[in-house]
Structure 1
Amino acid sequence: MSLPYVLNKEGRAIHSLLVTGYKAHELGIFQESHQGVHYVKKTIENRLRPFIEEGTEWIITSGQLGVEQWAADVVFSLKETAYPHIKLAILPPFEGQEANWAQAAQERYAARLAMADFVECISKRPYEHVGQLRQKNDFLVQRTDGLLVLYDEEKQGSPLYYIASAKAQGKPIFYISPEEVEETVRQDQYDDFL
């Protein structure tokens, strides 16, 4: 029996899923060691498992800092522990996306790229204009079957551009709410208490 929340509008399993959300700084997270990263990753894992069990094979991100890179880490973990068949594609919007990031962030990004199953820049040029970012959103939404996004309608931010593109293209959007992340925190604390 298929779970309705992991199917596209035609009732078919989602083969490729675009995962995105806020950039780390939009969440007030400035260190990978921040405890919030653990809970966001755990929530993403909880949401990805049903998709994978219903047929999702590819997880796609653009590799931006924050939710997208944490989702990559979750995919790597899931590949090692439970779902060796899933694949991760990182499709940066342009060459040198990481050029202005801190050295530690660049090193983590390089390691994630090295572990991904597929990596290719959408634009084969360095950053030139904001249109490359819009092109990235439209390109990734167009070539995937659905969007899984960490987003709070009361706190607009960078995920809004993906959401707008998905709505315009009629793609299914699966939201991870802040309340869902908070529930993960509560559950984790409850499990620790036991």
Structure 2
Amino acid sequence: MHCIWISGYRNYELNVFNNNDPKIKVIKIAIKNYLQQKLEDCCLDWVIAGPNLGVEQWSLEVANDLRNFYSDLHTALIFPYTNFGNNWTPSKQEHLSNLRSDVDFYTELSSQNYQNPKQFIQFQEFMLKHTEGALLIYDLEHKGKTSYDYQAIQFYQTQKNYFLDIIDFYDLQDIASES
């Protein structure tokens, strides 16, 4: 089984505040191209992501769509703690609820509400231990919350064989130019 963790920028880090923003289309094309290549190479069974607004949710949307063409592909949504997103607007909560219904597997790593940052570290540890590699939509020249995942992955790579692929802003610009 080949499992990949996908993470990246939050929507607000990309100045994306509505679902019609053209940046979403470009990011989804990048994710789709990446996943299709992995699927064609027969080295992908599961796409696993967290619930954050932005790349994580978009990646699960893309993977869920690809399941129509790749029956062996499965998706998982992992919450770091219970009631994640409860402070979001009703429309964003509804979208997350729909996404949760669409994936093949869903779990909450903690049965408690948010307590402290350690829950995010435990989330990263879970994701690293349950995947063979990661895809980050991330640019080292433009820091964001994904830098914590990037650092955790780099540290994990010193102990385990774990791949990391990055789609950066240059890659996204190339895709935007082709679209």
Range class of TM-score, shorter chain: over 0.9
The count of residues paired between Structure 1 and Structure 2 equals: 174
Larger strand share, 1 or 2: 2
Aligned to 1:107: 94
Q: Are the equivalent residues in 2 in contact too, given 1:141–1:162 (CA < 8 A)? A: no
| Larger of the two Rg values belongs to structure | 1
Aligned to 1:6: none
SS in 1 for 2:136: strand
SS in 2 for 1:60: strand
Cα deviation code 1:133-164 (max 9, x no counterpart): 11111211121100100111111111111111
Within the alignment, does 1:148 sit opposite 2:119 as a pair? no
Q: Distance in 2 between matches of 1:108 and 1:21?
A: 19
1:109 deviates by 0.6
Matches within 5 A, 1:1-194: 15-54=2-41, 55-80=43-68, 82-170=69-157, 171-188=162-179
Q: Distance in 2 between matches of 1:58 and 1:23?
A: 22
SS in 2 for 1:124: coil
Q: Distance in 2 between matches of 1:93 and 1:69?
A: 14
Q: Distance in 2 between matches of 1:29 and 1:156?
A: 16
1:166 deviates by 1.2
Q: Distance in 1 between matches of 2:123 and 2:89?
A: 23
- AA aligned to 2:19 is E
Using the size of structure 1 for normalisation, the TM-score is 0.87
Give the unaligned 5+ runs of structure 1: 1-13, 189-194
Q: Distance in 1 between matches of 2:128 and 2:17?
A: 28
1:84 deviates by 1.9
1:53 deviates by 2.0
SS in 2 for 1:91: strand
Aligned to 1:11: none
Q: Distance in 1 between matches of 2:169 and 2:91?
A: 27
Using the size of structure 2 for normalisation, the TM-score is 0.94
Give the unaligned 5+ runs of structure 2: none
How large is the RMSD of aligned CA atoms in angstroms?
Answer: 1.1
Percent pairwise identity: 25
Q: Distance in 1 between matches of 2:40 and 2:83?
A: 35
Cα deviation code 1:47-75 (max 9, x no counterpart): 11111222210000012110000001101
Q: Are the equivalent residues in 2 in contact too, given 1:22–1:151 (CA < 8 A)? A: yes
